[in-house]
Structure 1
Amino acid sequence: MSAAEKIITTLYPGQSDDHKRLAALHRYGALDAPASEDFTFLTELAAKACDVPYAFITLVDGERAVVKSCTGLALGSMPRSQCYCSLAVLGEAATEIGDLGRDARTAGMPLTVAAPFMRMYSSVPLTTRDGFAIGTLCVMDTKPGCLSTSQRDMLRKLARQVMALFELHASERALKASKDELETLATTDELTGLHNRRSLMSRLRFEVARTRRFRTPLSAVMVDVDHFKNVNDEFGHQLGDEVLAAIGRLVRENVRVIDVAGRYGGEELCILLPNTPPEGARKFAETLRSRIEAQVHGAGARTVAVTASLGVGSFNHMDIDDAEMLLKQADAALFRAKARGRNRVEG
């Protein structure tokens, strides 16, 4: 470890003291987020206002410093002990070093001893609303010197704008996450993790419209757990729920990205297979049937195996040419599978 690194390490708060600052930093989710043109504009403005060639927006993590925006010199991530900005998260309102080469804390740092041989550094910490310094807006020059009072004041104002942007981006991400969660709740069956009936029927209408327009195949597979009432009666509804949840996971693991699997009602599931002709749908259904049969479910010291009957329907652009007819065909095939002994595929 170099002398400079020893000095910086000594100045750092320990992890036990720094955890609140790091929690505040990670709250913004900005460390690995894509760079924004708005931040670039602010670093360019900072360099121009301070009449220096270099400006940076840097976030300081526990072990690294991540440059989110730069003007004059492209920098990425670097060890925290090798970054001037590590000094600015120690609680000072501003950090200015007139000659980096003459300051024991910075004389041995890479940007000081190698090109472009930085000499002047001035920064303002990026401070959260609850008072934690998560990084800096800084300017640098290859000539020793310092900022004027008006330049330092401008740098402070620009730092507040940087934090306002971080706040805005964090709010936007939180809003999107909230919307995604609400959409998931509105479209997902809680027990099976598949589409709920309302979402399934909406996707069915969409897939039917698409297959009509492009004259592509579309198939549907109806799945019904055999003797499911007996499982509930003998082992209880909790095991019945566990069985449906396990089958839901199995379906999710076996469908393609373009397929749509949903809970049609009770123990009955429906799987839409776009761009899939009847023979492909029957092959899929047979594979799914055998995997459902192979599942073993625990009921205390006992194990329970269940089977399922499956019916296949396919859009043929003639007599089966709408959503209702497609489901009726798959339902009729499912009825035949049950009538012919269950644990089989018809269609």
Structure 2
Amino acid sequence: MSAAEKITTLYPRQSDDQQRLAALHRYDALDAPASEDFSFLTELAAKVCDVPYAFITLVDTERAFVKSCTGLALDSLPRSQCYCALAVLGDNATEICDLSKDARTAAMPLTTAAPFMRMYSSVPLTSSEGFAIGTLCVMDSKPGCLSTSQRDMLRKLARQVMALFELRANDRALKASVDELATLATTDELTGLHNRRSLMNRLRFEVARTRRFRTPLSAVMVDLDRFKNINDEFGHQFGDEVLAAIGRLVRENVRVIDVAGRYGGEELCILLPNTPLEGARKFAETLRSRIEAQVHSTGARAVTVTASLGVGSFNHMDIDDADMLLKQADAALYRAKANGRNCVEG
């Protein structure tokens, strides 16, 4: 029998191992940092069972990862060299009173080398779907078995381990949901930019900051030229695709500190903190040329869109609040459209 055949015989995989792995990965625990809560549970398991070693182990595709340990520092082992990989197969491997006399474990490194493990007892960590994703186990370098009361306590501790995994998974899911809701509340679904409400909130914040620190603040209003013609000729779905593409273009061309939002319809507004008027004009001209160069395809036709841009800038005198800043940028936008469109004014 070849080595590969021997390993397959001694360490078979369940028919539902892919489902078991999916349950394991749902907890997103393999790369999670060490936790005092899990350390406490392994220490308690070792003390209750009167043995020197205890481990919380998760069994992945090819390796078993030790998430907490007492008595012996381990990080991970090949799945074929880990007692716990056997334990997830079923109850007949959850307690081995003498590892050196069991054909499945006699040749494993932890059995044949220091600390020469002999006793192994574990309780599967069972997911909410009913899959054993790992174990809470205790070990000793002397042969033996746990008492009924010790195994009962080990089961209770294993339930606490799973409760912690479930709690952390639920916390992550809740945070992801909260983050998603926050994104939905502040993001325009079509363009991926800030929605108007979020944009105005950020504008008030930036105005307050520029007043306090006497720093520059500029705003650029962007209006797509004759966009109604696009909708009328090619349909609103294509118009939405154009807006989405321009939204991506804007996101790719602003800095982390900038705030780009959909002001309404086909009109966008970009706030440029720490940017004086001349810098805002240069930004606006670059954005205008890139919008003009962007090609939108509908069927066999290639469509280009132009934009008119107006620039306003805080000067701490006549332009010194949010309304005046937007009015200045909007007036400049009106001039750009009056001057033939596809240009920058401000």
Fold conserved between structures, TM > 0.5 = yes
State whether structure 2 residue 281 is matched by structure 1 residue 282: yes
Q: Kindly state the Cα deviation for residue 214 of structure 1 after the two structures are TM-superposed.
A: 2.3
> Which residue type is aligned with residue 189 of structure 1?
D
Decide whether aligned partners of structure 1 residues 200 and 136 sit closer, same or farther in structure 2, where only a CA change above 3 A counts.
same
State whether structure 2 residue 104 is matched by structure 1 residue 84: no
- Residue by residue, what CA displacement relative to the aligned partner does 1:96-119 show, whole Å, maximum 9, x if unpaired? 222323322122223223333322
Q: Please name the residue that 1:343 is paired with.
A: 342
Q: Please name the residue that 1:243 is paired with.
A: 242
Q: Distance in 2 between matches of 1:335 and 1:115?
A: 81
Alignment length (residue pairs): 346
- Residue by residue, what CA displacement relative to the aligned partner does 1:69-126 show, whole Å, maximum 9, x if unpaired? 1222222233211211101111217612223233221222232233333222211100
State whether structure 2 residue 107 is matched by structure 1 residue 108: yes
Q: Kindly state the Cα deviation for residue 16 of structure 1 after the two structures are TM-superposed.
A: 4.9
Q: Distance in 2 between matches of 1:211 and 1:299?
A: 44
SS at match of 1:316: coil
Q: Please name the residue that 1:29 is paired with.
A: 28
Q: Distance in 1 between matches of 2:6 and 2:105?
A: 9
Decide whether aligned partners of structure 1 residues 243 and 106 sit closer, same or farther in structure 2, where only a CA change above 3 A counts.
same
> Do the aligned residues in 1 keep the contact of 2:86 with 2:93 (CA within 8 Å)?
no
Decide whether aligned partners of structure 1 residues 28 and 93 sit closer, same or farther in structure 2, where only a CA change above 3 A counts.
farther
- Residue by residue, what CA displacement relative to the aligned partner does 1:32-69 show, whole Å, maximum 9, x if unpaired? 22332211111111111112222111111122211111
Q: TM-score, normalised by structure 2?
A: 0.93
Q: Distance in 2 between matches of 1:2 and 1:278?
A: 76
Q: TM-score, normalised by structure 1?
A: 0.93
Select between 25-34 and 234-243 the one with higher mean Cα deviation: 25-34
Q: Distance in 1 between matches of 2:323 and 2:227?
A: 26
Q: Please name the residue that 1:120 is paired with.
A: 119
> Do the aligned residues in 2 keep the contact of 1:15 with 1:62 (CA within 8 Å)?
no
Q: Distance in 2 between matches of 1:220 and 1:208?
A: 11
The correspondence of residues 239-318 of structure 1 with structure 2, limited to 5 A, is 239-318=238-317
Q: Distance in 2 between matches of 1:340 and 1:192?
A: 27
Select between 20-29 and 223-232 the one with higher mean Cα deviation: 20-29
Q: Distance in 2 between matches of 1:328 and 1:56?
A: 66
Decide whether aligned partners of structure 1 residues 46 and 230 sit closer, same or farther in structure 2, where only a CA change above 3 A counts.
same
SS at match of 1:136: strand
> Which residue type is aligned with residue 77 of structure 2?
M
Q: Distance in 2 between matches of 1:336 and 1:46?
A: 76
Question: CA RMSD, aligned part only?
Answer: 2.0
Q: Distance in 2 between matches of 1:338 and 1:330?
A: 13
Runs of 4+ in 1 over 6 A off after TM superposition: none
Q: Please name the residue that 1:58 is paired with.
A: 57
Decide whether aligned partners of structure 1 residues 93 and 283 sit closer, same or farther in structure 2, where only a CA change above 3 A counts.
farther
Q: Please name the residue that 2:97 is paired with.
A: 98
Decide whether aligned partners of structure 1 residues 316 and 345 sit closer, same or farther in structure 2, where only a CA change above 3 A counts.
same
Q: Distance in 1 between matches of 2:323 and 2:14?
A: 62
State whether structure 2 residue 186 is matched by structure 1 residue 187: yes
Q: Kindly state the Cα deviation for residue 240 of structure 1 after the two structures are TM-superposed.
A: 1.0
> Do the aligned residues in 1 keep the contact of 2:14 with 2:89 (CA within 8 Å)?
no
> Which residue type is aligned with residue 204 of structure 2?
R
Segments of structure 1 that go 5 or more residues without pairing to the other structure are none
Q: Distance in 1 between matches of 2:116 and 2:316?
A: 73
Q: Distance in 2 between matches of 1:47 and 1:216?
A: 61
Q: Kindly state the Cα deviation for residue 21 of structure 1 after the two structures are TM-superposed.
A: 1.4
SS at match of 1:291: helix
State whether structure 2 residue 157 is matched by structure 1 residue 169: no
SS at match of 1:249: helix
Q: Distance in 2 between matches of 1:23 and 1:155?
A: 25
Q: Distance in 2 between matches of 1:321 and 1:114?
A: 76
Q: Kindly state the Cα deviation for residue 301 of structure 1 after the two structures are TM-superposed.
A: 1.5
SS at match of 1:324: helix
Q: Distance in 2 between matches of 1:97 and 1:66?
A: 20
> Do the aligned residues in 2 keep the contact of 1:8 with 1:105 (CA within 8 Å)?
no
Select between 286-295 and 111-120 the one with higher mean Cα deviation: 111-120
Q: Kindly state the Cα deviation for residue 215 of structure 1 after the two structures are TM-superposed.
A: 2.3
> Do the aligned residues in 1 keep the contact of 2:11 with 2:80 (CA within 8 Å)?
no
> Do the aligned residues in 2 keep the contact of 1:192 with 1:263 (CA within 8 Å)?
yes
Q: Kindly state the Cα deviation for residue 14 of structure 1 after the two structures are TM-superposed.
A: 4.2
> Do the aligned residues in 2 keep the contact of 1:296 with 1:305 (CA within 8 Å)?
yes
- Residue by residue, what CA displacement relative to the aligned partner does 1:185-241 show, whole Å, maximum 9, x if unpaired? 111111111111111111111111222222222221111111111111222212111
Q: Kindly state the Cα deviation for residue 12 of structure 1 after the two structures are TM-superposed.
A: 4.6
Determine what percentage of the aligned residue pairs are the same residue.
87
Q: Please name the residue that 2:330 is paired with.
A: 331
SS at match of 1:78: strand
> Which residue type is aligned with residue 328 of structure 1?
K
